[in-house]
Amino acid sequence: MKLLEKITLGTEILQNAIAMAPMTRSRANSEGVVSDLTALYYAQRAGAGLLITEAINISEQALGSPLTPGLYSQDQIDAWKKVTKSVHDKGGVIYAQLWHTGRVGHSADKKGNLPVAPSAIGIKGQQHFTSQGMKDYETPQELTTTEIRQIVKDYGKAARNAIEAGFDGIELHAAFGYLPNQFLSESANLRTDEYGGSIENRNRFVLEVMQELVDVTGRDKVGIKLSPTVYYNNIENSDPVAQFNPLIEALNELPLAYIHLMNGLFPLDNYPHYPKNALETFGSISKHMVIANGGFNKDSGEGELGKGIAKIISYGSLFLANPDLPERFKLNAELNVPDGATMYGGGEKGYTDYPFLKD
């Protein structure tokens, strides 16, 4: 089974071709500090070839949802040190996913400050979960070029903090409508300066951040997650191929560990111009290792590896509910069912209490 074969990622030899996808769990405290329970959570899943953490806020400004973790204070760094040690003690490899939510947030959880974005365009037709309940999205504050350059530096600082915390590498969250994805989107980025107005300019922010991350970490330690055909959070492009092909070609010139591609998670009936298979369309032009994400099970994941474009498959909710997922795949064992009610927030229930096969 290709899923269970060892594979080299950058400088690491992974024990299998199964990754745990980043999943928001909202179990940090109000200061963005994770607990010993988080260390246990990741250690339980260290049988993955690669663990990618839940998205981690790079700064106070970056925060979008309550009780999500950060990587910008010493207390946060020290807490993550316990997590990486717990994973390394089990022989695992763990990357930190770096997050700036941009307009996907609310002032209720940002000390009264409005979210920021490439342009002053709020998300319509959706609501945001806040510490005060569900709220309509606000119109974000448009970033100045000086502020944009500071955010690039904030990513670099978070990368240095991740290294200090013991992570093996980092992944830029440039998918699912968060800040980097907002810069890539015609519907969210109406700028007319060097960060908008053309495909090259809309790609500029992501490429500057990636260069900053590589400069900090060195070769083969940085990945990026992209979702070219996911329109959630009001992210749209008139021609995703024209937008993302030049981006991936530019990323080919950087010494990255991988590109993590999300397949379309939502129906594309209203987007007939979108590629039906993001992995084949965009993964085929990447010179870097491709990690495939998006609703895979054992058989479909194995089948995807057999096509030859993706070399690793990442699993989200299946790994959430099955801490020993690779072992279950190996034995063709029954899988635990994820409990949607306990995915976000709370304590050990739905977090560290899912049974192992040997329980």
- Catalytic residue (choose from 41, 42, 95, 178): 178
Please tell me whether residue 55 adopts helix, strand or coil conformation: strand
Beta bridge partners of 226: 261
* 165 within 8 A of 156, measured Cβ to Cβ: no
Please tell me whether residue 207 adopts helix, strand or coil conformation: helix
d(CA 25, CA 37): 12
d(CA 237, CA 127): 22
The dihedral built from the CA positions of residue 215, 217, 221 and 223, taken in this order, carries a sign that is negative
Write the pLDDT tens digit of every residue in 150-183: 999 999 999 999 999 999 999 999 999 999 999 9
d(CA 123, CA 104): 8
- Amino acid 94: pLDDT: 98
Average pLDDT estimate for 299-313:
97
CA nearest to 72, candidates 14, 151, 12: 151
- Amino acid 297: pLDDT: 96
* 326 within 8 A of 48, measured Cβ to Cβ: yes
- Amino acid 266: pLDDT: 83
Q: What is the pTM of this model?
A: 0.97
d(CA 92, CA 43): 8
* 99 within 8 A of 57, measured Cβ to Cβ: yes
Domain over 2-342 is classified CATH 3.40.50.300: no
- Burial track 38-58 (b if 16+ CB lie within 10 A, e otherwise): bbbbbbbbbbbbbbbbbbbbb
User: Confidence class of residue 359 from pLDDT cuts 50, 70 and 90?
Assistant: low
- In this predicted structure, the answer to whether residue 210 has a pLDDT above a threshold of 70 is yes
Is 178 designated active site?
yes
User: Confidence class of residue 195 from pLDDT cuts 50, 70 and 90?
Assistant: very high
Instruction: Give the Cα-Cα-Cα angle 250, 253, 254 (nearest 5 degrees).
Output: 105
User: Which residue is it, tokens 């953490």?
Assistant: 53
Q: How many CA atoms lie within 13 A of 212 on its CB side?
A: 21
4 DSSP assignment: G
- Amino acid 119: pLDDT: 98
- Amino acid 265: pLDDT: 78
User: Confidence class of residue 269 from pLDDT cuts 50, 70 and 90?
Assistant: confident
Instruction: Give the Cα-Cα-Cα angle 102, 53, 13 (nearest 5 degrees).
Output: 130
Please tell me whether residue 309 adopts helix, strand or coil conformation: coil
- In this predicted structure, the answer to whether residue 81 has a pLDDT above a threshold of 80 is yes
Whole-number Cα distances in Å, 91 to 18, 39, 142, 164, 273: 15, 14, 44, 19, 44
Instruction: Give the Cα-Cα-Cα angle 344, 89, 72 (nearest 5 degrees).
Output: 50
d(CA 206, CA 183): 8
Write the pLDDT tens digit of every residue in 107-155: 999 999 999 999 999 999 999 999 999 999 999 999 999 999 999 999 9
d(CA 79, CA 267): 39
Arithmetic mean of pLDDT over the chain: 97
Supply 139's token pair: 């119109």
102 DSSP assignment: T
Q: How many residues are present in the chain? A: 359
CA nearest to 301, candidates 323, 316, 321: 316
